[in-house]
């Protein structure tokens, strides 16, 4: 069966520090991968999606970047965090069936 | 924006009652999906309804879709305290990649 992992689960970082959030998927090949951000009490904002290794599409201009170094690995990064980067970050995958499967999320607090 | 909007933003009902949540969207869609999110957790897919379908059932869930009004509703029958969560609709655009556009969610509280 397929599983999706995200880590860390929670993270507290100072403004200006770098960020690296990792997402990995098991049990499937060539998944579409997605990074979302969810502000407190709000809906999901799609940040990046990838249909293959090295293929990244960005939905909104921002302080973040994404990379897909391996088929089932998706990384969200920042060189210098801003206060506004705080939020709940969710990784998801699917295989062209439209239904998406979400990871447990990472709670990021930037102080 | 292609994002959907749920209504109401928050709903509080007694256990055993039915809960109805609505979603409106703006562009043509391939399908519409409903997801559930427990507080501080990831989203879980509940049900998908295609643009050529009008109604779909899954257990205690009933989803309707009216493409002429660009709206959908999610009905949870005989609610339980465990149904307490946020519910999101998400639309898949007619053309393009597998992106989903999520609404802002309805926070459902079921009082035991």
Nearest to A94 among B44, B98, B105 (CB): B98
Instruction: Report chain B's mean pLDDT, rounded to a whole number.
Output: 91
Taking the CA of residue A85 and the nearest CA in chain B, the distance in Å comes to 17
Tokens 């609709």 correspond to what residue? Answer: B89
Taking the CA of residue A18 and the nearest CA in chain B, the distance in Å comes to 24
Checking if the pLDDT of A89 tops 60, the result is yes
Task: Identify the top-confidence range among A66-70, A98-102, B98-102.
Answer: A66-70
Query: Which residues, 6 or more positions from B27, have their beta carbon under 8 angstroms from its beta carbon?
Result: B2, B91, B93, B94
Q: How confident is the model at residue A60 (pLDDT cuts 50, 70, 90)?
A: confident
Checking if the pLDDT of B10 tops 80, the result is yes
| Residue of B43, B86, B101, B104 best to disrupt the A interface, most CBs of A under 10 A | B43
Contact A98 B98 (CB under 8 A): yes
For residue A55, the enclosing domain spans 3-110
Task: Identify the top-confidence range among A43-52, A88-97, B26-35, B57-66.
Answer: B57-66
CATH superfamily entry for domain B5-111? Immunoglobulins (2.60.40.10)
Cβ–Cβ under 8 Å, residues B73 and B21:
yes
Phi, psi of A93 (to 5 degrees): -140, 160
User: Which among B65, B92, B94, B23 is positioned nearest to A98, based on CA atoms?
Assistant: B92
CATH code (residue A44): 2.60.40.10
In chain B, where the domains are located = 5-111
Residues of chain B neighbouring A36 (CB-CB closer than 8 A):
102
Contact B42 A42 (CB under 8 A): no
Give CA angle at A44 (A18, B30), nearest 5°: 130
- Residue A9: Cβ-neighbour burial (10 angstroms; 0-12, 13-18, 19+): exposed
Q: How far apart are CA A29 and CA A27, in angstroms?
A: 7
Number of domains in chain A: 1
User: Which among B93, B71, B68 is positioned nearest to B21, based on CA atoms?
Assistant: B71
Q: What are B88's strand-pairing partners?
A: B35
**Exposed e or buried b per residue across A100-110, where buried means at least 16 C-beta atoms within 10 angstroms of its C-beta:** bbbbebbebeb
Checking if the pLDDT of B2 tops 60, the result is no
Cα Rg, chain A, nearest whole Å = 13
Residue of B nearest to A47 (CA): B99
DSSP B83: G
Nearest to B33 among A41, A90, A98 (CB): A98
Q: How far apart are CA A15 and CA A107, in angstroms?
A: 15
């Amino acid at each position: 069966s397929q599983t999706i992992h995200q880590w860390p689960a929670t993270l507290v970082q100072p403004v200006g520090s770098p960020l690296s959030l990792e997402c990995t998927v098991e049990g499937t090949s060539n998944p579409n991968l997605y990074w979302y951000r969810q502000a407190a009490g709000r809906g999901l904002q799609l940040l990046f999606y990838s249909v293959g290794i090295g293929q990244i599409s960005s939905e909104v201009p921002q302080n973040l970047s994404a990379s897909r170094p391996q088929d089932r690995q998706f990384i969200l990064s920042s060189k210098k965090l801003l206060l506004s980067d705080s939020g709940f970050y969710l990784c998801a995958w699917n295989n062209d069936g439209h239904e998406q499967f979400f990871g447990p999320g990472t709670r990021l607090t930037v102080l | 924006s292609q994002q959907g909007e749920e209504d109401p933003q928050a709903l509080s009902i007694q256990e055993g009652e039915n809960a109805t949540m609505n979603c409106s969207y703006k562009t043509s869609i391939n399908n519409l999906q409903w997801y559930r999110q427990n507080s501080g957790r990831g989203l879980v897919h509940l049900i998908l309804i295609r643009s050529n379908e009008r109604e779909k059932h899954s257990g205690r869930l009933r989803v309707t879709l009216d493409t002429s009004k660009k709206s959908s509703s999610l009905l949870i029958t005989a609610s339980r305290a465990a149904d307490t969560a946020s519910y999101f609709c998400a639309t898949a655009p007619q053309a393009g990649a597998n992106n989903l556009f999520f609404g802002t969610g309805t926070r459902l509280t079921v009082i035991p």
